[in-house]
Structure 1
């Protein structure tokens, strides 16, 4: 089939790769001048199936109030006259129950685990390199209360067979030797040895090159304007240049996917949640992290990417606003400077933000829409890099009329119609 993939981030490019591998004729459209120049550009760098959890869960509303009052809190809400924002927030609150958390978690973990394994297979098959490391993730607890509260997380990890280690301070230092200099600042940690790290932008660039070698066409600098439909089929997609027709279409435009589904009068509850990062040159490798350290207090991920430290965090609900707020930079600098004071040169750090496409329940949207030839691959939130390869392989199988390796029947948009 002739297939158009709309979106050139990590989700769109991985989708194009697996569709090409399945024998389809694929064209990728993106408004930027190259791949992975928006949300995929400078994310936290984690491939973390062990952290595949919904944001909506029991106790979150009360925690959110606390976070909003913290100086370096992980949550920011900038209210706007936007009905989509408030509708999305209300739907998220509805999912903040133990029962719904369990259902949503059960939909996310298998996909995240499958995606990590699919990424490994891709790496072995192609030799693709992207400053990857397979040294796990360490969730670091600064207080005894945080450490004591890991019981629920551990039970979930046991249930899904995710390897884990509960560590005392010595164990944390064993995993991350640079923490020895700040031993008094934490009481323990939860380590997930199966997690990986890597530069998402570098991966997407190199996978795009592999796509081209397999016959995929990329049309950069192309704005998607509209779809033309006829009953239950998409007839063509209109760009800022001309209308184009294909046999099937994949909407992988991240947060912007929702706008196009509204134009088709088939709304999906995907809303942007802005995240920030700084990228810090390493000045002393021995004083830098080995892999990823999750600072539980500030919900900040500190990741080693080659000769750089990527520090990512914050959930800012402010619509499609891409302004960089210095208060967010100070939070990221505070976390990494507190735990790895001699690891990087903060004065030389670059500052970035991106819009994570979030669903109110947590799992992404993967599968066919009510239109017979329009498919979705969006809504991955903070887990786009973690779930990219698995989501793309699953969707490629669906489009190719193959049975996916995992059950994804509950990931389609129809779950919101029930």
Structure 2
């Protein structure tokens, strides 16, 4: 019988690419005890111990704390847990990438501004950086494809309104033959992909977004219908089209992310034809309140966003804001609530929410998932307020 190969602490640490101190710490914490000791009492590790160590290191990378690693034997760690953990880490990395893109964009804009000025104006440069960071970080979080896809999936699965948000929204649009339509913040094009069979062939739709990734997703989702759609990167503050170019303008859950809302509304009015319709959707301050309460029950430091979005442009104050620019304002309310009875479904959405949720639960992911699951199992389901609506107005 072949004698089992044993490794000293130094050999074991070198094999795994970690420090000797880490191996000793895992022993002290009881996470990984050596299978053997030599006559002098020194630790000796086996190949089976090495497999355990690789599992520990993998779970640590996936965001579990040492305490949670110790509990994996108790609670088990299956394929779905691994997929959710990988998704969590993916979202963390994507958020970091988006932030770095924002910083790079701000630096490049400041660089051009400095080059075009004869003298260095620090106040102007700092203002440019602040504006770009504050606004585009919010927008980038919103348009991230994983977040948008998760929202669509969540509502498709758990909505009590069987029409669905995108079908309901489309049904409220007064589209006529040969109309030219512009949407800002089109995201992945879900509004059109879900209603493509109802869209008249003569209508020309231009979809814009600030994010190339989202434009790419929209093109994929509308593949085969390219003749009806134009796709373009566009800044809502400086819409790159001539005045009075469109019959319909759409801003679906976008306006509350704008830093200079008056500037954006002025631009929308400028490119809309006389008599043209402007449709913009938003939420009220009760939207998803039960989900927010659930997360705050786990940790009161969790923030979904730095400020309540409905306070900037919501169902309660939207009409008064729009009155400065448009007439004949009507508010259409979407009656719905989400009835959630599946832990994995709600976690997939939670992991995609803009805010600090990923940072707060970074080392307590398993504990957080157990907490959410217990809340659902206690009542069999949780009801989440889905307070959305659509403003319709006209340029006169």
Structure whose alpha-carbon radius of gyration is higher = 2
Q: Which has the higher strand share?
A: 1
Structure 2 length as normaliser, TM-score? 0.22
More contact order relative to length (CA 8 Å, sep ≥ 6)? 1
Higher helix share: 2
